[in-house]
Every structure is written in C-alpha cells, then in structure tokens.
Amino acid sequence: MAQDVLIFGPETIQEVLVNATRALGQAMEYHEARLQAELLLAHTLGVSRAMVLAKLDESIGRDVAAQYAANVARRAKHEPLAYILGHQEFYGLDFLVDRRVLIPRHETEMLALLALQRMQRVPHGSPVVVDVGTGSGALALTLAHHLPNAEVLATEVSPDALAVAEMNAKRLNLTGRVRLLLGDLLEPVQTNFDILVANLPYIPSARFVELADEIRRFEPRVALDGGLDGLSPMRSLLGQLESHAASGGTAFLEISEEQGPAAVELAERQIPHAEVILHHDLEGLARVVEIRLNNRPRVVDLRSSHVVTAFGLTDEDGLPAGCC
C-alpha cells in the first residue's frame, strides 16, 4: 500500500491493533499481519507482547498512537521488521541490527551448528575460529559464546557493519573474546584457522533486481551481491584457504540452494586434495559446502603415481589417526 501517514486516534489497544493489522494485511497474510502489529506495538510501548495481549481494553495516549502509526507505516512500506524493532534473534542470542548489516537469517544457523558439531567430533583445546564477512557478528559471537576456549577472529569489509558487530560484542559481554578486523576476506588474519565459517554475498548481480523489495531496498548491497555468477567472493576466499588453515582445518561456506554442484566443483578444482562435502537443510536444500583441507605434507609414490599423505591412513574425518 505504501501509505505515508497512518493516523491512529486515542483508542483501545485492541482497536489500534485491528487498524494496524488491516494496514499491514495488504502485504501479508492476516495471521502474520496481526503478529507483526502486536510486536510493533510491544516495541513502541517498551513492553512484552504478552503484556500487550493482557491489556487489550486499555487505551493508549495520542503520542504513543502517533509513534505506533509511524512504525506501522514503515513496515507497510516494506522496511524489514527486524530493522524497526532494532534486533534479531540468532541461535538463541539477541543481536542488534540496523540498515548497516544484513539481518541474520535462520538458515545461517546451520553454519554455526556444523562448526560446533565439528568441534565436538574433533575436540581441540583452544581452536582458532574465523568468521569471514561477519556483518552483525552473528556467527563469530555465537561461536565465541559456545566455545569458551576458542580464539575467535572476524573479518568484515564494511566499517559500518563492523561498528554494529562491535556493539553486539559489548552487549553479549564477548568483547575480549572476539577480534573484529576490518579488511578483505582473510587478508587481516595472521593466525591459521582450525574452523572457518563464511556467509559471503552469493546473489548473482543480474538477479539483484529480482529480490523482494524488503531485501533489495533495505539491506546493504555489499552483503548480497556475489558478482557475475554469485560465486565471486567464494572463488576469492577459496584461493586464500590453504595458506590460512591449520593442519586439519575445516571451512564451512554458506551457498544458495541452486549453487550446490557449481560450488562443490569450484572447491574441488581450486583445492584438489581437499575433501568437499555438500550439506542440505531439513527441506533437502543445498545450504553449506564443507571443505576439509587435509593440508599435510604430501609424498608422491612414483611407482603407483598415487599421491599419499605423509601421515598415511586417515580417520573418517579425513584427519591423521590420533591427530588433534
């Protein structure tokens, strides 16, 4: 609808909710519109949603009504709910977000889960964890929270985004645990990683215009645009992985659902002796490429022309038996 001015009078909470739901309902289903109307009112009043629902018969003052109308109008004009509320939940933690950063997505939680599972299966006393393109800091701070002995580094090319990640680090009491580094991909990182996670931009440039208004008009283009085929940032990162990985280092890279085969082929071509695994989400969509670097000294057996590792047999994780 894109109504510039919404006016809610001094009415009861129930009445303003009905009006707001109607305004939002032009762009979404009724139940979604009602839920968002309630969340926006709770935000405007500075109370919980449960408190709003407990006071439906109470009236709200003119000032609050005006502020609420302004918030509902922003949402009706497709501004994402998380930017208006100012925060977004990710893997059980609450992150401040605004237009300087991509809103952390539910599907990205799979990267955090896979990295934590890997640490459980291949324990490491004090792993080095790197998050490339940290945005709000969602992945880096989540991993720091769950891996108290890890040294966590996060890189980001946008100074604006890094400022948001810094706010989140403070808010989550993780400032001393995570080093936030401004720069391109792994360039600012001097330490070799045991675990790397990266949710880099992966939308092909030509498809940027096809994105929903909510994303295209509000979220930073630098967080979305992945170049000609959407894989440019991944291609550059793959070129840096081996020189930055500790022995047995593993990288988890988020991709879009249709990029699975191309991303696997790219990884196998750029790092021929790595083990590459494609992970699917619960809906069966390709979501994450795992790259186990196996970057150990190699010995060429000239008789058989086979490349064998200097450590011989590996366990099921592609690591030398007894390693790490």
Ligand X SMILES: C[S@@+](CC[C@H](N)C(=O)[O-])C[C@H]1O[C@@H](n2cnc3c(N)ncnc32)[C@H](O)[C@@H]1O
* Of residues 185 and 293, the one with the C-beta less far from ligand X: 185
* Of residues 65 and 130, the one with the C-beta less far from ligand X: 130
Residues 6+ apart with CB under 8 A from 267: 238, 253, 274, 276, 289, 291
**DSSP 3-state assignment of 83?**
helix
Q: Is 189 left (phi over 0), alpha (psi -120 to 50) or beta?
A: beta
* Of residues 156 and 194, the one with the C-beta less far from ligand X: 156
The least distance separating ligand X from the CB of residue 158, rounded to whole angstroms, comes to 4
* Of residues 25 and 133, the one with the C-beta less far from ligand X: 133
* Of residues 68 and 83, the one with the C-beta less far from ligand X: 83
Q: What is the DSSP string of 94-163?
A: EEE--TTSPPPPGGGHHHHHHHHHHHHHS--SS-EEEEES-TTTHHHHHHHHH-TT-EEEEEES-HHHHH
The least distance separating ligand X from the CB of residue 318, rounded to whole angstroms, comes to 26
Distances (CA, A) of 320 to 145, 191, 251: 29, 22, 18
- Which positions lie near ligand X, rule CB under 6 A? 102, 104, 108, 132-136, 138-139, 155-158, 161, 184-185, 199-201, 222-223, 233
The least distance separating ligand X from the CB of residue 224, rounded to whole angstroms, comes to 6
* Of residues 41 and 101, the one with the C-beta less far from ligand X: 101
Nearest in space to 105 (alpha carbons), one of 202, 193, 232? 202
Q: How many Å apart are CA 10 and CA 19, to the nearest integer?
A: 12
Q: Is 148 left (phi over 0), alpha (psi -120 to 50) or beta?
A: alpha
The least distance separating ligand X from the CB of residue 215, rounded to whole angstroms, comes to 11
CA 73 to chain centre: 27
Q: How many Å apart are CA 318 and CA 261, to the nearest integer?
A: 21
The least distance separating ligand X from the CB of residue 129, rounded to whole angstroms, comes to 13
The least distance separating ligand X from the CB of residue 242, rounded to whole angstroms, comes to 18
Hey, what are 61's tokens?
A: 């003052």
Distances (CA, A) of 251 to 122, 152, 265: 14, 14, 15
The least distance separating ligand X from the CB of residue 250, rounded to whole angstroms, comes to 17
* Of residues 52 and 186, the one with the C-beta less far from ligand X: 186
* Of residues 39 and 224, the one with the C-beta less far from ligand X: 224
The least distance separating ligand X from the CB of residue 252, rounded to whole angstroms, comes to 12
Phi then psi for residue 36, to 5 deg, are: -70, -35
